[in-house]
Chains A and B, each alone.
Chain A
Amino acid sequence: MRISSACEPTVDKQVTLVARVSSACSYIPCICKLPAATPCGRSCHRFFVEHLGNYSCVFYNATGRVVKTFIVTGPAMKELRSKPIVGYAGDSTVLTCKIYPAPLSWLWYKVNGSEKEVVNTTVQSAHYKVMVKDEEVLLVVMSLTEEDSGSYLCVAHYPISPVEGVVHLKIITFMEPLKPFLVILTEVLLLVSLIAVCELRGRRSTAQADMATSENGMHVTEVEKPKLEERNGTEETATRQRKV
Chain B
Amino acid sequence: MGRAPSRDPTAAPDGGWGWVVVGALFLVSALVFGLIRSLGIFFVEFMQYFGRSAQAVSWITSIGVAVQQLMSPLGTALCNAYGARPVVMVGGLLSGLGLILASQATSLTHLYLTMGFISGLGWALVFTPVVASVMQYFSQKRSLAMGLGFTGVGISSFVFSPLFQLLVEVYAWRGALLILGALSFNIMACGALIRPLRSPKTKTQTLTDKVDETSCSSVCSRAYTYLELSLLFQKPFIIYAVAITLFNAGYFVPHVYLVAHSQHVGFSEYQAAFTMSAAGVADLAGRVVAGLTSDLGRMRLPHILSVWTGFTSLFMLLLSPCSSGGSYTSLLLVSLAYGFCAGAMAPLIFSLVPEIVGMQRMLGALGLLQLIESVGGLLGTPLSGWLKDQTGSYLGSFLLAGGCLLLGTLVLAGLPNFFSCNPPASLKCPKQNQSPESELLNHTVSMPNVSSDIPMSGAKSLSVPYLKDHDVQPSPGLGLSLENTSV
B16, B49, B182, B478 interface centre (most CB from chain A within 10 Å): B182
Task: Give me the interface of A with B, judged by CB distance under 8 Å.
Answer: 83, 85-88, 91, 93-94, 96, 131, 138, 172, 174, 176-178, 180-182, 184-185, 187-188, 191-192, 195-196, 199, 221-223, 227, 230-235, 237-244
Q: Which residue of the partner chain, among B16, B171, B195, B478, contacts A223 with CB atoms under 8 Å?
A: B478
Q: List 23 A-B contacts (CB under 8 A).
A: A83-B169, A86-B170, A87-B172, A88-B174, A91-B174, A93-B172, A94-B51, A172-B175, A178-B178, A182-B182, A184-B182, A188-B185, A192-B188, A192-B192, A223-B477, A231-B9, A231-B197, A232-B195, A235-B3, A235-B9, A238-B2, A239-B7, A239-B9
Task: Give me the interface of B with A, judged by CB distance under 8 Å.
Answer: 2-9, 13, 16-17, 48-49, 51, 89, 169-172, 174-176, 178-179, 181-183, 185-186, 188-189, 192-193, 195-200, 475-479, 481-482
Q: Which residues in A have their C-beta under 8 angstroms from that of B195?
A: 199, 232-233
| In the A-B complex, the 8 residue pairs with the closest CB atoms | A177-B175, A238-B3, A184-B182, A239-B9, A86-B172, A191-B189, A195-B192, A177-B171
CB of A195 within 8 A of CB of B9, answer no
CA of A104 to CA of B320, assembled, Å: 38
CB of B481 within 8 A of CB of A244, answer yes
CB of A195 within 8 A of CB of B51, answer no
CB of A241 within 8 A of CB of B192, answer no
B2, B13, B171, B188 interface centre (most CB from chain A within 10 Å): B171
CA of A100 to CA of B179, assembled, Å: 37
CB of A243 within 8 A of CB of B478, answer yes
A218: min CB distance to chain B, Å: 10
Q: Which residues in B have their C-beta under 8 angstroms from that of A242?
A: 5-6
Q: Which residues in A have their C-beta under 8 angstroms from that of B186?
A: 184, 187-188, 191
CB of B192 within 8 A of CB of A232, answer no
CB of B481 within 8 A of CB of A188, answer no
Q: A218 — nearest CB in chain B belongs to which residue?
A: B5
B17: min CB distance to chain A, Å: 5
CA of A40 to CA of B132, assembled, Å: 76
A52: min CB distance to chain B, Å: 26
Q: Which residue of the partner chain, among B2, B188, B477, B482, contacts A222 with CB atoms under 8 Å?
A: B477
Q: B172 — nearest CB in chain A belongs to which residue?
A: A86
CA of A151 to CA of B416, assembled, Å: 68
CA of A223 to CA of B473, assembled, Å: 13
CB of B189 within 8 A of CB of A192, answer yes
Supposing A87-B172, A93-B49, A230-B196 touch, asked if A195 and B476 sit within 8 A by C-beta, the answer is: no
CB of B17 within 8 A of CB of A232, answer yes
CA of A242 to CA of B8, assembled, Å: 10
CA of A222 to CA of B2, assembled, Å: 24
CB of B174 within 8 A of CB of A196, answer no
CB of B9 within 8 A of CB of A223, answer no
CA of A85 to CA of B200, assembled, Å: 51
CA of A195 to CA of B192, assembled, Å: 7
Q: Which residues in B have their C-beta under 8 angstroms from that of A87?
A: 172
CA of A192 to CA of B185, assembled, Å: 10
Supposing A86-B169, A195-B193, A232-B13 touch, asked if A240 and B5 sit within 8 A by C-beta, the answer is: yes
